[in-house]
C-alpha cells in the first residue's frame, strides 16, 4: 500500500544487507444474537499485553506536517461476494469493483477503515441455523491490499460463520497482509485489544465491538476465541477510558441496530453517548446494511450506520465518510455513491448528490449536510 512503501523499501534494503553479511559470515566461519457476557501479531500471547501501533508515513512531506489535520476515511460493510469477485475478474482488478473517484479519496487518506463482513479461511464448518454464512479464501486479501485498507473491525455477526478455525485464519491472513484488525481474537484479551496508529504526529486509537451475535458462544472469553461484545457496555467503556489516556483521538466502530432500518434503535443512541462520555471522539456504526443518520453529542459525531460499501449485486445508497481532525474539532464529509453488479461508484450528477445530501439530512438528528457533503450540527 502506498502509505507503507517506505517500510517495504527499508525492509528490502536491510534484507539485502543482512543477506550479504550472511554470505560473508558463511565464507569465514561456521556460524487476524445475544448476549452480554487488537491487533494481533505473530506472538499472540505477548501482543495482547500492549496495543498494536504503527506509524503511518505520507509520501507528501508537506501533508505529513504535524500541524496538518489527520484525514480518516471510513467505509461500511465489505463482503467480497460472487458478484464482486466476478466484477473484479471481468474488470481487470480493483477498477472493476471500485471507481477511481472513491479510490482517490482512499489513497489520499491517512488511515482507511472498514467492516469486514466475512472470514478469510478455507477451513471450518458453516454455523447451524444461520441463513447466510460467508467465507473467502485467504488469497483474496490481496483485494483489500489493492483497495488500500489499513484497518478493519472483525466485530460482527459473520466473523465466526465457519467457527474459530476460520477466525484464527482471518487474523493470521490480515497480519501477513499488514492490515490491522480489532474486535475479535483468540481470547478476550486479544478481542478487546485496540489498534493505535500514528499519523502526522497524532496517536489515533481504534476499538471494535458488536451488539449483534447469533449465539452466546461467539463472545470471546479468557481462554476462548470470539468477539468483544457490547450488550453490556461495561468492558468496552473501560477500554475506551484506558485508550483515551494514551491516544489523542479515539474511534469506536460498533456493529449494532436492525437490518434494513434507516433509523437507529434507542439503545444505539444511548450506547453512542456512553462511548463519548467514556472518551470516544468518533463513533461509527454498521450492520443495518443501509445508511442511518448522524447525530452530535457534546460536539462529537455518532454515525449510526454507513451501510454496505462493497457487498452484493445492488446497493442503492452508499458513501465514504471522511473525518478530518485538526487537534480540536472533527470535520465530517460524505461522498455518496451507488453500487450495481458488484461495482461501487461515486454519484455522477448534481441532482443525484443533492438528493442524497437531503436524504441524509432528513434521517439525521440536528444535523445538516450541505451541497458539498459537509456535515454540520444545527442544534
| Coil vs helix vs strand at 227 | strand
Q: Region 300-313: what's the mean pLDDT?
A: 96
CA atoms within a 13 Å half-sphere pointing along the CA-CB vector of 309: 28
- Which residues, at least 6 apart from 47, have a Cβ–Cβ distance to it below 8 Å? 38, 39, 40, 41, 190, 193
Q: Region 158-170: what's the mean pLDDT?
A: 98
- Reported as a single tens digit per residue, the pLDDT across 28-51 is 233 223 333 433 333 333 344 455
- Reported as a single tens digit per residue, the pLDDT across 230-279 is 999 999 999 999 999 999 999 999 999 999 999 999 999 999 999 999 99
What pLDDT shows up at residue 58?
46
Q: How confident is the model at residue 24 (pLDDT cuts 50, 70, 90)?
A: very low
Q: Given a cut of 70, is residue 68 above it in pLDDT? A: yes
**Rounded Cα–Cα distance for residues 55 and 10 (Å):** 14
Q: What are phi and psi of 200, to 5 degrees?
A: 55, 40
Q: Which of 2-11, 116-125, 209-218, 284-293 has the lowest mean pLDDT?
A: 2-11
The answer to whether the beta carbons of residues 81 and 309 sit under 8 Å apart is: no
Q: Given a cut of 60, is residue 220 above it in pLDDT? A: yes
Q: Region 192-203: what's the mean pLDDT?
A: 97
Sort 139 into a burial class: Cβ within 10 Å, 0-12 / 13-18 / 19+: exposed
Taking the model in full, what pTM does it have? 0.87
Three cell numbers written together for 318: 452508499
The answer to whether the beta carbons of residues 252 and 275 sit under 8 Å apart is: yes
Q: Region 176-197: what's the mean pLDDT?
A: 98
Where do the domains of the chain lie?
A: 32-377
**Rounded Cα–Cα distance for residues 345 and 103 (Å):** 10
| Coil vs helix vs strand at 189 | helix
Q: Region 190-219: what's the mean pLDDT?
A: 97
| Closest of 220, 208, 147, 138 to residue 174, by C-alpha | 138
**Mean pLDDT score of the chain, rounded to an integer?**
88
**Domain 32-377 in this protein, CATH class:** alpha beta
Amino acid at each position: 500500500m502506498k502509505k507503507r512503501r517506505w517500510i517495504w523499501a527499508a525492509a528490502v534494503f536491510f534484507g539485502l544487507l543482512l543477506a550479504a553479511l550472511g554470505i560473508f559470515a558463511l565464507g569465514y566461519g561456521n556460524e487476524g444474537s445475544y448476549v452480554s457476557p487488537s491487533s494481533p501479531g505473530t506472538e499472540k500471547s505477548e501482543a495482547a499485553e500492549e496495543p498494536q501501533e504503527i506509524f503511518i508515513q505520507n509520501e507528501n512531506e508537506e501533508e505529513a506536517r504535524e500541524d496538518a489535520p489527520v484525514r480518516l476515511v471510513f467505509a461500511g460493510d465489505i463482503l467480497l461476494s460472487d458478484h464482486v469477485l466476478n466484477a473484479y475478474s471481468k474488470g481487470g482488478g480493483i477498477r472493476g469493483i471500485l471507481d477511481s473517484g472513491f479510490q482517490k479519496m482512499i489513497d489520499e487518506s491517512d488511515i482507511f477503515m472498514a467492516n469486514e463482513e466475512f472470514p478469510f479461511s478455507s477451513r471450518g464448518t458453516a454455523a447451524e441455523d444461520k441463513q447466510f454464512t460467508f467465507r473467502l479464501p485467504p488469497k483474496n486479501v490481496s483485494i483489500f491490499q489493492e483497495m488500500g485498507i489499513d484497518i478493519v473491525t472483525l466485530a460482527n455477526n459473520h466473523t465466526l460463520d465457519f467457527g474459530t478455525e476460520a477466525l484464527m485464519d482471518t487474523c493470521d491472513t490480515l497480519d501477513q497482509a499488514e492490515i490491522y484488525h480489532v474486535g475479535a481474537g483468540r481470547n478476550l484479551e486479544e478481542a478487546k485489544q485496540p489498534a493505535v496508529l500514528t499519523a502526522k504526529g497524532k496517536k489515533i486509537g481504534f476499538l471494535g465491538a458488536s451488539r449483534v451475535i447469533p449465539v452466546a458462544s461467539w463472545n470471546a472469553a479468557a481462554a476462548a476465541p470470539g468477539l468483544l461484545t457490547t450488550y453490556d457496555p461495561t468492558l468496552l467503556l473501560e477500554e475506551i477510558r484506558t485508550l483515551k489516556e494514551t491516544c489523542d483521538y479515539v474511534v469506536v466502530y460498533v456493529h449494532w441496530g436492525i437490518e434494513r432500518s434507516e433509523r437507529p434503535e434507542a439503545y444505539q443512541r444511548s450506547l453512542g453517548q456512553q462511548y463519548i462520555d467514556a472518551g470516544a471522539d468518533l463513533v461509527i456504526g454498521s450492520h443495518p446494511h443501509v445508511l442511518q443518520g448522524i447525530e452530535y453529542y457534546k460536539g462529537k459525531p455518532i454515525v449510526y450506520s454507513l451501510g454496505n460499501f462493497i457487498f452484493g449485486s445492488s446497493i442503492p445508497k452508499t458513501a465514504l465518510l471522511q473525518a478530518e481532525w485538526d487537534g480540536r474539532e472533527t470535520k465530517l464529509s460524505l461522498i455518496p455513491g451507488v453500487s450495481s453488479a458488484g461495482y461501487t461508484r461515486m454519484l455522477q450528477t448534481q441532482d443525484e448528490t443533492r438528493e442524497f445530501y437531503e436524504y441524509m439530512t432528513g434521517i439525521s438528528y440536528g444535523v445538516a449536510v450541505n451541497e458539498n457533503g459537509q456535515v454540520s450540527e444545527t442544534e
